[in-house]
Structure 1
Amino acid sequence: MKTQILDHKQVQKILRRMAYQIYEKNFDRKELVFAAIKGQGVEVAKLVQTELSDISKIKISLLEIDISKDKPAFNSAKVNLSGTKLAAKTVILFDDVLNTGRTLVFAMHPFLQEPLEAIQVAVLVDRNHKSFPVSADFIGISLQTTMQEHVSVTMKAGKISVYLV
């Protein structure tokens, strides 16, 4: 059974709030780097980028992290850093759903070798089932779910929705 938790209009409000939170925490930055997990993480990052561009003049670079969400492993995250200067910059990792934290831990790996100012994490949905020491700095919605339930973020015809499956 599929139950809609958030429709597109609700998600838009949440993403706008997240953009304001990101701006409040990073108002003194001239540039931010959004590094997003391929798939829905990239879609969430792009939507937040649009919202943030409406409220601030912070320059935003978007990087895509290619990683297997089913079986993430050490050194499995691939991101093209050529042409992107990360020294003394803040990187915000984006994903659609934070479940155990495994994917985000491994997605951080390519950035840990760079002289960054900070790494922050933004997720649309936090399920609160942490197995790894990662938490989100910016959370759209926090859901208490069972381990058997699944949260699905879908994008159809430019509209994003969240479902509990």
Structure 2
Amino acid sequence: MNKIDKNNSFKVPDGYFDTLSANIMDKISKEETTMSPKEGFKVPEGYFDNLNTQILQKLENSPVETKVIPLKSYKKHFYAVASVAAVLLLFVVIQFNSNTTLSYSDLANSDIEQYFEFNDLELSSYDLAEILPINDMDLNDILENRLDNDNIIDYLDTHIEDFEDLNLHNDD
């Protein structure tokens, strides 16, 4: 508190509030005497005598149209509902206008491979051998990279020392 008192630059003289009301009343009385009669507003004589009847006559002659302003606007809700309805209508129209039917050729090879990888069809290798026509298949149909005869010969030359290990003879 001592810091506040030391830094406070506003000071009031002793006994200021004791004589304040008397000083204000003196100033008011001096202003009333110095005021000239020309100052202020002048009202014609008898103006307030028939003022009520004049106001009532004006109100009866002119019908008052009051404008009703709703407190809560429903425009925002209307626009939101209209936009949702438009989106739903557009969705329904697009669904019914699409007459294209999907076929097996429309599927991508990667989709088919992914289906077989992640779905267990409970087929054994013997079942697959019965289903797949082996006579019409080539080794290149199964492999992703095609094998050329030159590549096969180069591989055999580098990795096999004796050609008898290849077992090229059909001993059925």
- Please classify the TM superposition score into its range, dividing by the shorter chain length: under 0.3
Q: Larger relative CO (CA 8 A, sep 6+): 1 or 2?
A: 1
Bigger Rg, which one: 2
TM-score (norm 1): 0.18
TM-score (norm 2): 0.17
